[in-house]
Structure 1
Amino acid sequence: MSHSRGLCRPEGMRIAIAGGTGMLGRQTAEELRGRGHDVRVLSRHAPEYRVDLTTGDGLAEALEGCDAVVDASNSRSPKQAEQILVEGSRRLLAAEESAGVGHHVCVSIVGCDQLPFGYYRSKAEQERVVESARVPWTVVRATQFHELLAMGFAAVGRTRVLPVPRARLQTVACAEVARVVADVVEGGPRRGRVEVTGPETADLRVLARRWRAITGRKALVVPLALPGALGRALRSGVATSDRADVRGTVRFDDWLRAQTTTGKGNGR
């Protein structure tokens, strides 16, 4: 059975969000609820729809009657990335096909297919799984989040030394990505990619110095050499895009100042 309701009912859809308790998942859920949709948050720790992508437990019940699914799942452990992102996608898509879901939205990373590192390889393979599925799909590729960059600086900066490699980044506010994901859900499947980036490209060392100046943290920025293919890829800017479908408007500096004012961006 395939009712594909997400294609004919853009308002008041029932949408499941895998990884809905994570950073992007939470903000996407809030955005979609604000637009009048019925949102189900799926994760191992969700209060109602507890789902485990590594086993498939809970998927059938959670997806019953859903028009669309957003896969914002993630893996904190690089060792589990393939099991959650790749095998988990296969389980999720199979359950969606059985439930008659009309649109699968996969959240991915700009340049993941060009970054020679385990986690990014898993993201690229996840995209291939989605593209070969029978469920109509859209892949939303985003650049790195302002939030993750600030969290990384704060965690490492506690030592008062901040070793930073050269890397061209184009960070974006998570809230802006959440709005794009919500737009994609409402727009229906494209069987293609949508790219969303931040408004500016900057070297990671420059961003580290801006973070230090705005937050007032006492941390010495130390150049770190990142050899090999990964270092070359990051320096060349594969984690950025000059062909973005949507370019965010909130610069890292402005986002960080706003967070610091409310006490959220200083890592304390």
Structure 2
Amino acid sequence: MRIAIAGGTGTLGSHVTTELRSRGHEVRVLSRRSPDHPVDLTTGEGLEAALAGCVVVDATNASRNASAVLVEGSRRLLAAEAAAGVGHHVCASIVGCDQVPLGYFKVKADQERVVAQGPVPWTTVRITQFHELVAATLAPAGRWRLLPVPNARPRMVAVAEAAGGGRRHRRGGAAPGGVEVAGPEFADARQLARTWRKTTGHRALLLPVPLPGRLGQALRNGVLAAGRPDVQGVTPFGAWLAARP
């Protein structure tokens, strides 16, 4: 199968690329930096020519101008897919994004709506927070020997394990409503911070940070953790962290 991966050089996209190539698929990596299929979601440049004959996986991320890239970019991507005759669009998203009143999560929820209302049959693969993201967030704080910890209950998963989450839907037809991918364990943020501190050897003080309003309630209620995921990772955060070089 020929599969085009938008954002194929990013954290998730690069793992999806590796996983699909290992299974014998022909993979096209789409990004502004791609030497073979350079595309720009903010303008639509290069899209239609790169999509012919493909299933499309959108693993795009954006730390800046997120709405322009993920929402408006999805509209351009879907329009180009329709013109190229693409029969299946897979959108990587976030578990609970429609319940967290925070900027990036709102953008991801808007992106999901654009996909659901678009012209191409679709599947949304919602994924919980990545081990890699938590470790990258804790590391700078640890250097100051102070770890701000909100009252939250995530259910993290390793990127490499999440990358195969939508595999059966990429092989088959679209599945509106999508699938959820989560890690193997529920843990609160304090447990995760303690695990990180013990495993890395950092001597840092845990500082509880109360989050007020709807955001605090959402995180306390565990909206970032899938209750009954369709696909479940196998590596807990502590084991993943200990295995890192």
TM-score (norm 1): 0.89
Count of matched residue positions in the alignment of Structure 1 and Structure 2? 245
CA contact (8 A) 1:31 1:182 kept: no
CA contact (8 A) 2:166 2:179 kept: no
Give the counterpart letter for 1:46 in structure 2: S
Deviation at 1:177, TM superposition (A): 1.0
Instruction: Give the whole-Å Cα distance in 1 for the aligned partners of 2:31 and 2:180.
Output: 25
Give the counterpart letter for 2:224 in structure 1: A
SS of match in other structure, 1:113: coil
Give the counterpart letter for 1:222 in structure 2: L
Deviation at 1:200, TM superposition (A): 0.8
Instruction: Give the whole-Å Cα distance in 1 for the aligned partners of 2:169 and 2:18.
Output: 15
SS of match in other structure, 1:168: coil
Give the counterpart letter for 2:108 in structure 1: K
Instruction: Give the whole-Å Cα distance in 1 for the aligned partners of 2:109 and 2:129.
Output: 15
Deviation at 1:205, TM superposition (A): 1.3
Quote the residue 1:75 is aligned against: 62
Instruction: Give the whole-Å Cα distance in 1 for the aligned partners of 2:180 and 2:211.
Output: 27
Considering only aligned residues, what root-mean-square deviation do their CA atoms show, in Å?
1.1
TM-score (norm 2): 0.97
Quote the residue 2:37 is aligned against: 49
Deviations 1:215-251 (A, max 9, x none): 1122221111222211111011111121211121111
SS of match in other structure, 2:175: coil
Quote the residue 2:87 is aligned against: 102
Give the counterpart letter for 1:128 in structure 2: R
Quote the residue 1:130 is aligned against: 115
SS of match in other structure, 2:126: strand
Give the counterpart letter for 2:214 in structure 1: A
Deviation at 1:114, TM superposition (A): 0.4
Q: Percent identity?
A: 60
Deviations 1:183-218 (A, max 9, x none): 321132112210011111111111011001011122
Query: Does residue 89 of structure 1 match 2:74?
Result: yes
**5+ residue gaps, structure 1:** 1-12, 263-268
Which portions of structure 1, spanning 4 or more consecutive aligned residues, are displaced by more than 6 angstroms? none
Deviations 1:111-157 (A, max 9, x none): 00000111111111111111111211100001001111111111222
